[in-house]
Amino acid sequence: MAQQPPAMAVTFKVNGKAQALMLDTRTTLLDALRDHIGLMGTKKGCDHGQCGACTVLVNGTRINSCLSLAVMHEGDAVTTIEGLGTPEQLHPMQAAFVKHDGFQCGYCTPGQICSAVAVLEEIRAGIPSHVQGDVGTAPEMSLPEMRERMSGNICRCGAYSNIAEAMAEVAGVRIAETHGAQSDAGAEA
């Protein structure tokens, strides 16, 4: 038998609960959550940072957990979809997704919801984006801003229109009667 691959101890919190793991150093945060801690809510769609299904919050910031090795997270606080709410007590974003049918197969959904929660915070915190007219000013809480910032979360079922409505409701953004007017293209004429 060849020599064992290097393992390392790591401790971090997941949804408020301390986890002490001894891990093969190649283990991603995503696989640590799923295969070692047993929290299967976070999904693996590509394992390459291309789809967003694995989005979790680390110390309040969203990341693709497939692109991050678990051992890099010593002392971090990780929040997964299971930490946001439960079927009995949904997070407002989870409730809005149910109400607006912001999903179909549900596989991208935990990632979408984690991203959506973080995106509203990012806009509130004034973090700039590509669709801002002037990055010197505070970004607007608007659908084009939300759509831009959510674009790393692919939904092949195509629930985008409904996800936008769920997010708008949670953000308290009124959706205009004619949704077309919300489109960014042509608006800056």
Partner 1 sequence: MKFDTPAGTNPIDTMKVIGQAVDRVDGKLKTTGQAPYAYEHGEIPGKPAYGYIIGAAIAKGRIAAMNTAEAKRMPGVLAIVSAENAQPLGKGSMNTAKLLGGPVVEHYHQAVAVVVAESFEQARSAANAVRIEYERGAGRFDLVKEKPGAQPLTGNDADTHTGDFAGAFASAPVQVDQTYTTPDQNHAMMEPFATIAWWDADALSVWTSNQMIAWNKRELAATFKLPPEKVHVRSPFIGGGFGGKLFLRADAVMAALGAKACGRPVKIAMPRPLMLNNATHRPATIQRIRLGATRDGKLTAIGHESWSGDLPGGGPESATQQTKLLYAGANRLTALRLAELDLPEANAMRAPGEAPGLMALEIAIDEMAEKLGMDPVKFRVLNDTQVDPEHPERPFSQRNLVRCLEEGADRFGWNRRSAKPAQMREGRWLIGMGVAAAFRNNINMTSAARVRLAGDGVVTVETDMTDIGTGSYTIIAQTAAEMMGLPVEKVRVKLGDSSFPASAGSGGQWGANSATSGVYAACAKLRDMAAQSLGMDPASAEFSDGRVRAGNRSAALAEAAKAGELVAEETMQWGDLGKKFQQSTFGAHFVEVAVDSYTGETRVRRMLAVCAAGRILNPKTARSQVIGAMTMGVGGALMEELAVDKRFGFFVNHDLAGYEVPVHADIPHQDVVFLDEADDKVSPMKAKGVGELGLCGVGAAVANAVYNATGVRVRDYPITLHKYLAKLPAIA
Residues 35-94 that bind ligand FES (CB under 6 A): 44-47, 49-54, 64, 66
Choose, by CB under 6 A, the member of 156, 161, 176, 183 that binds ligand FES.
156
Q: Which of residues 120-149 bind ligand FES (CB under 6 A)?
A: none
List the one residue from 10, 19, 43, 62 that touches partner 1 (CB under 8 A).
Answer: 43
Pick between residue 127 and residue 131 the one whose CB is nearest to partner 1.
131
Side-chain-side CA neighbours of 31 within 13 Å: the count stands at: 13
Q: Which of residues 91-120 bind ligand FES (CB under 6 A)?
A: 103-109
Instruction: Give the pairing type, strands 77-79 and 7-14.
Output: parallel
Cα–Cα dist 136/81, whole Å: 33
Q: How many residues does the chain have?
A: 189
CB 31 within 8 A of CB 10: no
Where in 1-30 is the site for ligand FES (CB under 6 A)?
A: none
With CB cut-offs between 5 and 8 Å by kind, which of ligand FES, partner 1, none does residue 75 bind? none
Shorter beta-carbon distance to partner 1: residue 10 or 84: 84
Site of tokens 């995503």? 30
User: 11: which strand partners?
Assistant: 20
Q: Does 15 bind partner 1 (CB under 8 A)?
A: no
- Strand 77-79 and strand 17-24: the pairing is unpaired
> Looking at residue 94, what DSSP letter applies?
H
Interface contacts to ligand FES, rule CB under 6 A: 44-47, 49-54, 64, 66, 103-109, 155-157, 159
